[in-house]
Structure formats: C-alpha cells, structure tokens
Amino acid sequence: MIPAARLAALIELLDGVQGAALPADRVAQRYFRERRFIGSKDRNWIGDALFAVGRDLGRLRWRLDRLGRAPDGRALVLAQRHAEGDERSLLESQFSGERYTPAALDADDRALLDGLDGLTGPAAEAMPGWARDNYPDWMEAPLRARFGADLGQAMAAYGERAPLGLRVNLLKASREKAAAALAEEGIETTPMARSPLGLVAGRAALGASPAYRRGLVEVQDEASQLCALACAARPGEQVVDFCAGAGGKSLALAAAMANKGQIHAFDIDARALGELKKRADRAGIRNLQTRRIAAEDDRSGEPLPADLAGRADLVLVDAPCSGSGTWRRNPFARWQLEAADVERQATRQAALLDRASALVRPGGRLFYAVCSVFPVEGEAVVAAFLAANPDFRPRPLDGDWLAETGLKGSGEDGAALVLLPHVHGTDGFFVAAFERA
C-alpha cells in the first residue's frame, strides 16, 4: 500500500471505531478480516497508527473542538499528522483524491490546518488536564480517587501499548520448556516481571503457532495471572468460577489444581462457555464443567445449582465492569463510557457478589475481581458486601506466590490486590479476598 492509501484505511477504520459499540481492537480485527488484501506490514502500520490516535484522543478532540470541527476520522487523522509534524505539502500530496487515497484537501481542511498552526505554543498551554491526559472530563473525580497526584503518570502509562502476555500451562510444560518451544518457532519471549507463569512476547501470530495449538501457553495479561495466583486453588478442591466467560481464569485455576477436584465454570453467556470448553480441551484440562446460569433477573435460563450451595471451597467472581483497567489495549473505550455506566456496573457487581457468596462453604474462600481502577467498583463494593454479610471477613492475601511476585496485599487487612499500569506495568486490576466464618 502507498502511504496515502494507509491513511485512507486509517480514516475509514477510525470512523468505524468511533461509531461502534465494540472495542477498537475487535473493530480493527473485523475490518482487516473483511479486507484480506491488506498485507501484514500495512496491517501493523494501520494498527499502530490507530493506537497512536487513541493515545492522543483527548488532545486531538480538544483542538478540533476549539476549531469547531467534528472529531471524525478525517479530522482526527489530519490533526494527528499535523501534531506529528507532517508538512502541509506532504498532506496536500497524500490527501490528493486519487484512487485509494483520501479525498483531496478542501477549504475546510485547509482552515483546520491553519487553525492547528495557531494552537501550538502558548495556546496549547490552555489545554485542560482531561485533554492532556486523555480522559473524558467527567472522569476526573473517579480517576483521582484512585491515582491522586499520580493521575498524569498513570494516564501516561495507559498510553503505552500492552505487550502480548502469555501464561504457561504447567499441565503441559515448564516456563523454560514453553519458551524454548516458542523460540524454535521464531517467537522470542522474555519472562514476565512478576507472574512466575508468565512470558512476554513481541508481536506474534500465535494462532499459527504449534506450541500454542498444543496448549503450552494461553494469552493472558499479567494482572489476570496474578489474580488467579491470588486465589491459590488447590488440587482436590471444589471451585466455582462464577463469571467464567471464555475462561481465562478458569484455565489458570484448573492448571493450579493439576486436574484434581472440580472447576465449575458459570456464565450467562453460552457462547463464551463454548469457547472455554475448546480452550480447556487444548490445555488438557479434565476437571472442568461449564454451566450456563440465568442472570438474577432472567427466568428463562437455568437457576443457580442448588447442589453447590454452601459447598464450594473457593468461589471467584470476576465480575463484568467498566474495563477501566484495560485502556492500554482499548484506548478508545474510555470515551464510550458514561458516569451512569459505572454506577450501573457497581450495582450489578454488588448483586453478583452477594449471589455467588451463597455457594461458599463455611471456612471457604471468596474472591472478587474487576479489571477496573475505579474505587466505586472495587473498595466500595467490598465495603458494602462486608457490611451486609457479617459471616464473611476479609482474608489477608498469603501464599508463596506473594513473596515470589514481590507484591503486598493492600487495605487495612492486606486482603486486596490493587494492580496499576504505572506501578506494576500490568492492566489495572482489583482483587479482594474474603473468608466465610
């Protein structure tokens, strides 16, 4: 593809991303799937450029807003190329209107570029924090509640692209063996900083990797690996993964149990559970069963299984959430989120935790997790749960994994794990542990 054609594709993709309910990476995957003629080099370039726009979206939107231009794909690309220092002559030649290139620059575009020239220097200093640090204005308070004075630093860390995290499946290989198998296929990895099961890979086409297909590794961010380690599932236990989805954590728990005991993977989403079954087969897991359950307010699906009530040794509630911990992967997602969405999520999380807690046996463990950094989805849910359920108490995090990872439990009781992109280099994540009296 000539560079101008790449820009045309980027504009088209940005328009798709901004209008879609799906996360940006899913929209991009679909976009490329439908355009097989776009080769891998061009795909990588366009993917990187998409991420670069997402990382700068606050700044770009603020500038476009000041200049009275809607933030559509074309305006965003022009503003971004301008910010990157592209000369006007280059933009004139790339936005030429020739075949496969963006439509030729018109009077509005030239006025935009003139306006952007005027928004550098002292004018740029008027940029408010939300624009500079790339978050919607309303999020200032909930983000400050977590990051305080480190907000700028934290948001800068969200601007770093997340690496491809892999978890080694100990049922099939040690970390060293898995790394060697991948290296033989030309996929170089390095050990993760904290997770003893983790490898970090560069940009790898994993789908075609025999090591991946044989189940030696699974794709999983370090924060999720640490969450599963914190649960410390033991061989022989009855474990419920209440919001199992496609099973990232179920698979990690099952591997820790060495195929002894039972994992009950619940979800309301039958399609995700179907995917989990396939992954479990690939990973050589034999102690896992999936079960579609009905949401609290849905009478059409299966109710909670009565046979497990008060019997599980360990219940994990990896609840649906705002996803505010995952913005390194989906830089656009923060702009699709409204304050009311976060409130709604918090209400649902409280209901889910309450419901799932009935499955824990006396003396058993309960874990609550969200890939969010908003305290209203973390500490506030925990406090409300403890106030309403006196038979549960916080359970300080323990186990060899803690010492190995150099992490400490946070909160008064050391019963929570708060992972942050600018501190730990992981997704933002919150885990809390409880014990039933």
Ligand X SMILES: C[S@@+](CC[C@H](N)C(=O)[O-])C[C@H]1O[C@@H](n2cnc3c(N)ncnc32)[C@H](O)[C@@H]1O
Among 124, 258, 268, 386, binds ligand X (CB under 6 A): 268
Tell me the backbone φ, ψ of residue 386, rounded to 5 degrees: -65, -40
Pick out residues in 34-73 that bind ligand X (CB under 6 A).
Answer: none
Q: Which is nearer to ligand X, 70 or 294 (CB)?
A: 294
- Write down the least CB distance from residue 242 to ligand X, Å: 6
Question: Binding site annotation covers 269?
Answer: no
Residue 371 a catalytic site member: yes
Among 77, 206, 352, 407, binds ligand X (CB under 6 A): 352
Among 109, 237, 318, 377, binds ligand X (CB under 6 A): 318
- Part in contact with ligand X (CB under 6 A); list of ranges 145-153, 171-179, 187-195, 247-255: 247-255
- Part in contact with ligand X (CB under 6 A); list of ranges 66-74, 156-164, 292-300, 383-391: 292-300
Q: Number of helices (H) and strands (E), helices first, in the chain?
A: 19, 12
- Write down the least CB distance from residue 148 to ligand X, Å: 26
Residue of 162, 163, 143 lying closest to 153 (CA atoms): 143
Query: Is residue 194 at the binding interface for ligand X, with CB under 6 A as the rule?
Result: no
Query: Is residue 221 at the binding interface for ligand X, with CB under 6 A as the rule?
Result: no
Long-range contacts of 86-90 (CB under 8 A, 24+ apart): 88/113
Strands 312-318 and 288-292: unpaired
Long-range contacts of 274-279 (CB under 8 A, 24+ apart): 275/246, 275/247, 276/244, 276/245, 276/246, 276/247, 276/250, 276/251, 279/218, 279/246, 279/247, 279/251
Query: Is residue 22 at the binding interface for ligand X, with CB under 6 A as the rule?
Result: no
Question: What span, in angstroms and rounded, lies between the C-alpha atoms of 52 and 48?
Answer: 6
Mention every residue, 6+ apart, whose C-beta is less than 8 A from residue 308: 238, 240, 264, 359
User: How many residues line the site for ligand X (CB under 6 A)?
Assistant: 20
Mention every residue, 6+ apart, whose C-beta is less than 8 A from residue 432: 367, 368, 369, 378, 379, 382, 394, 411, 415, 416, 417
Cα→Cα distances 142→54, 146, 164, 351, Å = 21, 7, 28, 21
Question: Binding site annotation covers 241?
Answer: no
Cα→Cα distances 180→166, 167, 184, 186, 282, Å = 14, 14, 6, 10, 19
- Write down the least CB distance from residue 373 to ligand X, Å: 14
Q: Sheet containing 217-219: which strands, arranged edge to edge?
A: 189-191, 198-201, 164-168, 217-219
Query: Is residue 246 at the binding interface for ligand X, with CB under 6 A as the rule?
Result: yes
- Part in contact with ligand X (CB under 6 A); list of ranges 12-20, 146-154, 289-297, 403-411: 289-297
- Write down the least CB distance from residue 302 to ligand X, Å: 11
- Write down the least CB distance from residue 224 to ligand X, Å: 6
Query: Is residue 263 at the binding interface for ligand X, with CB under 6 A as the rule?
Result: no
Q: Could you tell me if 229 and 419 are in contact, meaning their C-beta atoms sit under 8 angstroms apart?
A: no
Among 6, 63, 172, 249, binds ligand X (CB under 6 A): 249
Q: Which is nearer to ligand X, 56 or 267 (CB)?
A: 267
Q: Hey, is 43 helix, strand or coil?
A: helix
- Part in contact with ligand X (CB under 6 A); list of ranges 78-86, 106-114, 177-185, 236-244: 236-244
- Write down the least CB distance from residue 252 to ligand X, Å: 8
- Part in contact with ligand X (CB under 6 A); list of ranges 155-163, 246-254, 409-417, 425-433: 246-254
Residue of 165, 382, 356 lying closest to 265 (CA atoms): 356
Residues shown for the chain: 437
**DSSP label at 125?**
G
Tokens of 41: 């080099």
Q: Which is nearer to ligand X, 57 or 253 (CB)?
A: 253
Q: Hey, is 166 helix, strand or coil?
A: strand
Query: Is residue 197 at the binding interface for ligand X, with CB under 6 A as the rule?
Result: no
Query: Is residue 313 at the binding interface for ligand X, with CB under 6 A as the rule?
Result: no
Q: Which is nearer to ligand X, 61 or 279 (CB)?
A: 279
Question: Binding site annotation covers 114?
Answer: no
- Write down the least CB distance from residue 101 to ligand X, Å: 41
Known binding residues are: 267, 297, 318
Known binding residues for S-adenosyl-L-methionine are: 267, 297, 318
Active site residues: 371
- Residues within the interface to ligand X (CB under 6 A): 224, 242-249, 266-269, 272, 293, 295-296, 318, 320, 352
